[in-house]
Amino acid sequence: MNRPIAITNDSDLTKLRAGDAVEFSGVAYTARDAAHKRFVAALDAGKPLPVELRGAAIYYAGPTPARKGEIIGSCGPTTSARMDDYAPRLLDLGLKIMIGKGKRSPEVLDAVRRNGAVYLIAVGGAAALIKSRITACEEVAYPDLGCEAVRRLTFDHLPLLVAIDSLGNNILS
């Protein structure tokens, strides 16, 4: 088996192909549907977003609180389709990587292709493995949302699979 491809910058994204095994190291923001709804409401109101999306990665997860001495609690992926109404707009603003699980809508597929982004899938039920790859966690927005608050996570070699590449090839269709 080939060693997974490391994602270290935007130019790496154009080299990825649907079905590639990858390792993600770097920053990703957690955001589920409640945070996405607030992102779009802020944009509609002409307000800035609480995080810079240009070149960013969003991980569709709502981590549980950390136990004493831990960085983060359980942090498995949530169903990505719940963000499909919001994702094209965020991709058009420069979002480059989405991490979650499950199929995406044709509108998201078109936006991924249009913006040279990628959709990566994590293994559902692998929250312990994912948690072990998180080296830092900081709450950055919407603390009233509890586990759905936006957090800035730093990952070290998180194993993922490319579901949709920047050309729009899709292993889930």
The answer to whether residue 126 sits within a structural domain is yes
Range of the structural domain that residue 120 is part of? 5-10+17-164
- pLDDT, tens digit, for every residue of 20-73? 999 999 999 999 999 999 999 999 999 999 999 999 999 999 999 999 999 999
Do the domain assignments include residue 98?
yes
Residue 133 covered by a domain: yes
CATH code of the domain covering residue 74: 3.20.130.10
Examine residue 173 and state whether it is found in any structural domain, yes or no. no
* Residue range 138-149: mean pLDDT, rounded: 97
Q: Report pLDDT for 4.
A: 61
Task: With respect to residue 172, please indicate whether it lies within any of the assigned structural domains.
Answer: no
% of residues, the chain, pLDDT over 90: 86
Q: What percent of the chain has pLDDT over 70?
A: 94
Buried b (16+ CB within 10 A) or exposed e, 31-63: bbbbbbebbeeeeeeeeebebebeebbbbbbbb
The count of structural domains within the chain is 1
The reply to whether 32 falls in a domain is yes
Minimum mean pLDDT range among 5-14, 54-63, 162-171: 5-14
Q: Is the pLDDT of residue 1 over 80?
A: no
What is the average pLDDT across 156-171?
95
In-domain check, residue 169: no
Does residue 171 form part of some domain?
A: no
